[in-house]
Amino acid sequence: MKPSEMVYRELLYRAIEKRSSRTTQSELSKSLHLSLGTVNYALKPLRKLGAVEVGKRSLSVADVKKLLYFWASIRNVGRDIVYSTRADMPVYRIEKLVPSGTIFTAYTAYKMRFKDVAADYSEVYVYGDSDLFMERFAATKQTPNLFVLRKDKCIDAYGQTATLANMFVDLWNMKEWYAREFVNAMEGKLHGFLE
């Protein structure tokens, strides 16, 4: 995940899950361990869109929907895949066998967060350590159903599942036909924030 995406995730996490749209560039820089220049660079397109408002000593999310869809439009999940393989077992078994410290995203994260699924799914996407997955799930040449994405330095702070915004943008970028069902369901769940 690019550093600018880490900024977008944190802003959306605060706005959606913490219900706090105000912060400062300095605070973001410290909490994400990024330079102030990197944070400022990440905010430039958001300012042009009107998604954020930046004052001398403040920063606020002005339009959650614009920020979320902007991030979804630039996200490239495929670029972050560090390991993929086929595990010939049901999805629920794969989910139980992942190494500790794994962060679930996409379909599994949706199921864990909302205790529901928008459609049946057969792939598991996680943020994790590729070496641990290679030990537990052997490499095959078959069509993969387990995808390990590179963890960034801050993702562990959000818990065992990706943030709601991170989950949404990952789902937005999935190629499976049922990803659209999950995106539609998430839009419904985030409706109050996207108005």
Q: What is the pLDDT of residues 51-110, one digit of tens each?
A: 999 988 889 999 999 999 999 999 999 999 999 999 999 999 999 999 999 999 999 999
- The rounded mean pLDDT for the chain is 94
Report the alpha-carbon angle 72-163-17, nearest 5.
105
- Within the chain, strands assigned E span 22-23, 52-54, 59-61, 81-85, 103-105, 124-128, 146-150
Domain boundaries, the chain: 3-74, 77-193
Phi-psi region of 151 (alpha: psi -120 to 50; beta: other; left: phi over 0): beta
Classify 3-74 by CATH class. Answer: mainly alpha
Confidence of residue 195 (pLDDT cuts 50, 70, 90): low
Alpha helices in 50-136 (DSSP H): 64-74, 91-97, 106-114, 130-136
